[in-house]
Amino acid sequence: GDSVTQMEGPVTLSEEAFLTINCTYTATGYPSLFWYVQYPGEGLQLLLKATKADDKGSNKGFEATYRKETTSFHLEKGSVQVSDSAVYFCALRSNSGGSNYKLTFGKGTLLTVNP
Amino acid sequence: DAGVIQSPRHEVTEMGQEVTLRCKPISGHNSLFWYRQTMMRGLELLIYFNNNVPIDDSGMPEDRFSAKMPNASFSTLKIQPSEPRDSAVYFCASSTGTSGSYNEQFFGPGTRLTVL
């Protein structure tokens, strides 16, 4: 079945540091890929997405590129801020079969950014 | 515009008690999802409704769990009887779209359930 593996946290960085959170996936066909963010006490919010190979999703300074050859979708940001402290989830949606509604999530990575 | 509304935000109960979690989806959304989040298993889809009809309940753990959607603006997830291993954060999410299609899911703030 489909699965998503992301680097375990917690990740602790200083403000303005470079961020990478690794994500790899296993899926049949050509899934769509997502990054969600969960701020303390809130639900998940879609951060960015990519629907086909070599697509780059970007939002709020975050980027991730859909790499089919390495089945990866790593999240990056050049300069993190304290307000980026949150839990980040990588997810995929299979585009095959009748389960197009179903998201498969990674375990989440807690990011803490210190001033 | 209000997002997905869940109540209660926190629930503490004793083993064996009935627990009912509530969700109001975003107006105009016709798909509704219930998820459970635990440290061990991460985020899991419990059940998916489209146009108030349960489409996929394969994630519901066992018969103690049940979910209903009596109308387009309200859904409940009930656990009876509750057990300590049901302790988790339960999220409701809603989206537009037809069964089998996908549009962005909008998540509520979650209900943190603790069963003693």
* Spatial distance between the Cα atoms of B114 and B111, rounded to a whole number of angstroms: 10
In chain A, which residues have pLDDT < 70? 97-98
For A3, A11, A14, A15, A39, the CA distances from A112, given in Å and listed in that order, are 25, 6, 8, 10, 11
pLDDT at B1: 63
pLDDT at A114: 96
Residue among A42, A46, A105 minimizing CB distance to B109: A42
pLDDT at A42: 87
Secondary structure (3-state) at B85:
helix
pLDDT at A101: 80
pLDDT at B99: 59
Interface test with A, best of B41, B43, B92 (most A CBs within 10 A): B43
Per-residue pLDDT of chain B (116 residues; tens, 9 = 90+): 689 999 999 999 999 999 999 999 999 999 999 999 998 888 999 999 999 999 999 999 889 999 999 999 999 999 999 999 999 999 999 999 775 566 788 999 999 999 99
Intra-chain end-to-end CA distance of chain B, in Å: 36
Q: Which amino acid is present at B94?
A: S
For B49, B67, B82, B83, B107, the CA distances from B17, given in Å and listed in that order, are 26, 17, 6, 8, 27
Q: Which amino acid is present at B29?
A: H
Interface test with A, best of B29, B34, B37 (most A CBs within 10 A): B37
Q: Hey, which residues 38-97 in chain B have their CB within 8 Å of chain A?
A: 42-43, 45, 48, 50, 55-56, 91, 93, 95, 97
> Residues of A with CB below 8 A from B42's CB?
105-108
